[in-house]
């Protein structure tokens, strides 16, 4: 896994700018000076991240046959910043879970880095596709929001990435932009602004992913009340998830990966499955974390670009009772290589 040093934790100026341009007309009565003061306070409180994400690169599971190759793409959430060991990163949890449930070895490689935005995905994919890829998980969007990148622009960048991977035969699962409104150092009204912008980003991402043949899993804030009230789900910087927080994230992503690989075991219980217009499905998913959205097959499917643009929306119960993920092989632990961090002084997680 190629790692980069974290950049400065900032970028909240983008939220101030979005408010100043009228993105939230309902908050027009709130003074711009209040937003500006709270954004500065959030930046001081969150501070700068320290250390590097743990490196989970390697092969998981001792099973016969060739290994599936899983790649992690995106920003600090995909690289696992905030986890206290490689085994607690999203990549390791997903690779180990897939190896356990499919009885296949899984080779994990990561190209995500701290501060990445959707525009950085092209370069990450180019590196990943130098060898065959079977599965790709993308987690991105936070830095697009904090740097004022519009949902349409970020959505096009993400959609192009999904299209490239799907053309190479890769199963693509995207965890959409989380709800920044649950980040504890943010106060009102900045919290409401952040929540609005991140949900708008998540909806645009879901449409872009589904239209290009990928599967979108809406992370939102997952269990909003629990994340808001439970310190153990946050790492020391109070911005990135803790190991337990990352486990909640991977519990939401894993069923879609297994279903895409044709797994027959009962990994989670679907509560409901409905078919909706893709934009309606995306808006619904942006409001309700944990939903899976994918194109329906055939000419009316969103991925086919035909009339109707339909998507399937699936609600599931969390993954339970599956046991511990398969561990990384002890003889396949890589040497950690540190690289220079992003040059953008406003790069965040």
pLDDT digits (tens, 9 = 90+) for 297-335: 888 888 877 555 899 999 877 666 567 889 899 866 554
What is residue 231's predicted lDDT score, i.e. its pLDDT?
A: 52
Tokens representing residue 290 in the block: 């944990």
pTM of the model: 0.80
For residue 31, what is the DSSP state? -
Give the torsion through C-alpha atoms of 157, 161, 167, 168, to 10 deg: 160
What is residue 5's predicted lDDT score, i.e. its pLDDT?
A: 42
Angle between helices 151-167 and 121-128 (to 10 degrees): 10
Rounded distance between C-alpha atoms, residue 293 and residue 62, angstroms: 32
Residue 334's φ and ψ, nearest 5 degrees, are: -80, 165
273 Cβ contact partners less than 8 Å away, ≥ 6 residues apart: 312, 313, 314, 315
Q: Diameter of the chain by CA atoms?
A: 64
**Among 157, 240, 251, 295, the one annotated catalytic:** 240
43 Cβ contact partners less than 8 Å away, ≥ 6 residues apart: 9, 10, 12
Residue 78's φ and ψ, nearest 5 degrees, are: -75, -30
**Among 55, 75, 76, 79, the one annotated catalytic:** 76
By CB atoms closer than 10 A (0-12, 13-18, 19+), residue 138 is buried
Rounded distance between C-alpha atoms, residue 70 and residue 107, angstroms: 6
What is residue 289's predicted lDDT score, i.e. its pLDDT?
A: 73
Decide if 230 is catalytic.
Answer: no
Residue 47's φ and ψ, nearest 5 degrees, are: 70, -160
**Among 75, 120, 144, 237, the one annotated catalytic:** 237
Tokens representing residue 89 in the block: 């990163």
Tokens representing residue 138 in the block: 């993308």
Residue ranges in the chain whose pLDDT is less than 70:
1-51, 181-191, 220-243, 264-269, 306-308, 318-322, 331-349
Decide if 63 is catalytic.
Answer: no
Residues 204, 197, 110: CA angle, nearest 5 degrees: 65
For residue 26, what is the DSSP state? G
| CATH assignment, 3-266 | 3.40.50.1110
Decide if 147 is catalytic.
Answer: no
């Amino acid at each position: 896994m190629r790692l980069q040093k974290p950049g400065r934790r900032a970028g909240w100026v983008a939220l101030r700018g979005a408010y100043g341009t009228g993105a939230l007309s309902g908050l027009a009565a709130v003074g711009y000076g209040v937003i500006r003061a709270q954004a500065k306070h959030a930046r001081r409180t969150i501070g700068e991240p320290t250390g590097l994400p743990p490196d989970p690169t390697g092969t998981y599971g001792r099973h016969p046959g060739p290994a599936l190759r899983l790649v992690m793409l995106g920003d600090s959430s995909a690289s696992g910043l905030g986890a206290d060991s490689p085994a607690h990163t999203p990549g390791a949890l997903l690779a180990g879970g897939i190896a356990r449930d499919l009885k296949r070895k899984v080779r994990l490689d990561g190209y995500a880095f701290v501060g990445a935005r959707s525009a950085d995905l092209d370069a990450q994919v180019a590196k990943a596709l130098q060898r065959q890829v079977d599965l790709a998980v993308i987690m991105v969007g936070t830095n697009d929001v904090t740097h004022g990148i519009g949902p349409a622009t970020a959505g096009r960048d993400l959609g192009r990435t999904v299209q490239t991977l799907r053309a190479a035969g890769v199963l693509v699962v995207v965890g959409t932009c989380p709800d920044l409104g649950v980040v504890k150092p943010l106060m009102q009204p900045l919290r409401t602004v952040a929540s609005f912008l991140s949900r708008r980003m998540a909806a645009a991402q879901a449409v872009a992913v589904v239209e290009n043949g990928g599967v979108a899993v809406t992370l939102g804030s997952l269990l909003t009340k629990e994340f808001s009230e439970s310190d153990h789900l946050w790492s020391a910087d109070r911005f990135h998830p803790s190991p337990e927080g990352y486990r909640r994230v991977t519990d939401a992503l894993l069923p879609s990966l297994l279903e895409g690989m044709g797994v027959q075991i009962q990994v989670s219980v679907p509560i409901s499955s409905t078919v909706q217009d893709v934009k309606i499905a995306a808006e619904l998913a942006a409001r309700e974390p944990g939903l899976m959205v994918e194109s329906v097959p055939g000419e009316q499917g969103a991925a086919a670009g035909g009339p109707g643009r339909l998507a399937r929306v699936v609600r599931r119960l969390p993954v339970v009772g599956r046991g511990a993920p398969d561990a990384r092989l002890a003889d396949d632990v890589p040497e950690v290589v540190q690289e220079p961090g992003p040059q953008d002084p406003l790069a965040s997680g």
